[in-house]
């Protein structure tokens, strides 16, 4: 399941970067999950938490508007993902935590995420 979520998160971040005009060297993108992450779906007590970070080398410096737009796009993504998850037992996952920070230097992009649904 972690491989699937890594791909889902990677696709989501890439879509957000393309949407906001943020350029990175795609071969440098690294996603890591902390030990606080859990994935219990589908179960009687569904729960998921994805806590970690994404790092990449910027191909061009991030402008203030791009920074704001990328952050907003990533904040909207988690609730959108949860709204389309169809669990077989008719349960719904609710958005309990949606924390995303975007930091950038002239050459590096760092995105920290703590996404939780119960």
Tens of pLDDT, residues 44-94: 778 889 899 999 999 999 999 999 999 999 999 999 888 877 766 666 778
Confidence at residue 28, expressed as pLDDT on a 0 to 100 scale: 97
For residue 105, the enclosing domain spans: 2-117
Count: domains in the chain: 1
List the CATH number of the domain containing 50: 3.30.70
pLDDT of residue 101: 97
Residue 106 scores a pLDDT above 80:
yes
Q: What is the pLDDT of residue 58?
A: 98
4-50 pLDDT, tens digit each: 777 888 899 999 999 999 999 999 999 998 989 888 776 677 888 98
Q: Which residues contact 57 (CB under 8 A, 6 or more apart)?
A: 24, 25, 28, 107, 108, 109
Run of H or E residues at 68:
helix 64-84
Strands 108-117 and 47-58: antiparallel
Strands 95-104 and 38-40: unpaired
Neighbours of 82 (CB within 10 A): 17
- What's the confidence (pLDDT) of residue 18? 95
């Amino acid at each position: 399941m972690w491989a699937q979520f890594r791909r889902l998160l990677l696709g989501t971040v890439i879509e957000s970067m393309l949407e906001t005009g943020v350029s990175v060297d795609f071969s440098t993108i690294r996603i890591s999950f902390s030990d606080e992450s859990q994935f219990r779906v589908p179960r009687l007590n569904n729960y998921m938490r994805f806590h970690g970070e994404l790092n990449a080398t910027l191909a061009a410096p991030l402008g203030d508007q791009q920074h704001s737009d990328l952050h907003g796009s990533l904040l909207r993504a988690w609730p959108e993902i949860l709204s389309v998850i169809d669990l077989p037992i008719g349960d719904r996952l609710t958005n309990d935590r949606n924390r995303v920070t975007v930091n950038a230097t002239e050459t590096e992009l760092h995105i920290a995420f703590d996404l939780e649904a119960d």
